[in-house]
Amino acid sequence: MMSLWSVMYARYVVSAGDDSAEQHRRTPGVSAIPAVDVDLVVNCYERTYRELLRSDRLRQIERDCLVRFRSLIVLINNVIDLDHVMELARSRVSDGSISRVMRVDELLPPAIASTRIPARLLRHHGYFLDYGLAMAFAGESAYVLGWDAEVRLEAPHCWLVDALELLHRDDRVFSAAPRWPAREFDTLDHETWAHEGPWALNYGFTDQLFLVRRSELQRPIYRKIAPAAYCRHPEHPWTFETRLEAYQRSSARYRATHRHARYTHNDTIPVLSRDGLETKRDRLQRLVLAGVGRRLERLPIKSPRWQAIP
């Protein structure tokens, strides 16, 4: 459990003289907003870096979350012209739009050593895993807020301070996030196993937007067995997202989903199909896991390791 100071820092450190948050990022016209011991880490790659680095997106995220982050970090991965992207990112550091720019390839060696991930697991679609491992080593704050470059809150909301307090007082909760995008059929009620105030407690995980304790992300938790997680994501069962869901399910650790804050994301097309990267191996894997998932639904047991829905 994180110290009480981490939570007090989140809700009460608002003085103009606080030098633990970066003064040049204060929102104009706002004299006192909560400072949080959280690094905002936004992952971007070839398809998303242009919009991200030619706007004030990270500062807008900060305004929408109604807080001051400890730092605003852009994490670069899988781009064609790395020199150009780094130059563009450094210009955003210079004008104060972001705090730091970091690269996945530079953070990956200590991440692999700490999480004990074998190099062979990064050979097939490794970019669906490596960025998440690197996020744990991007910055120094007690908490990491992972944020996909295409994610936006539907409206400003103070969900983050409430999430920090929940993570402080309840070790059962591994991750916290706003409610996922509205789709044709909202599955939150079906996936919820318990409730805690405005939070729906479930065992899913999303890499689109997540708040976690940094120390936990750095642990060797990425090779846990939870068939329900793999069958929920038959298109990409070995990604950062699915591996952390498997950890949550195998360890009975919740994701807390805020019922009243929601984000949007361009996720209408499955990621492998959208990128044109689905191989024959991927298709076979998807079909097999989908079939296994249908069998798991008929098992007469109630366990998050084996059942996706309570």
Q: Where are the domains of the chain?
A: 4-296
Decide if pLDDT at 22 tops 60.
Answer: no
Query: With the C-alpha atoms ordered 135, 139, 144, 146, is the resulting torsion angle positive or negative?
Result: negative
pTM listed for this prediction = 0.84
Confidence band for 275, pLDDT divided at 50, 70 and 90: low
CATH number of 4-296: 3.90.550.10
How far is the CA of 41 from the CAs of 61, 96, 143, 207, 303, in angstroms? 11, 16, 10, 12, 33
Q: How high is the pLDDT of residue 174?
A: 98
Decide if pLDDT at 255 tops 80.
Answer: yes
Q: What is the mean pLDDT of the chain?
A: 85
Percent above pLDDT 70 for the chain? 81
Q: How high is the pLDDT of residue 289?
A: 67
Q: How high is the pLDDT of residue 183?
A: 75
Angle at 39 between CA 35 and CA 41, to 5 degrees: 140
Say if residues 79 and 43 touch (Cβ distance below 8 Å). no
Q: Span 278-300, mean pLDDT?
A: 69
* Tens digits of residue pLDDT in 204-232: 999 999 999 999 999 999 999 888 888 78
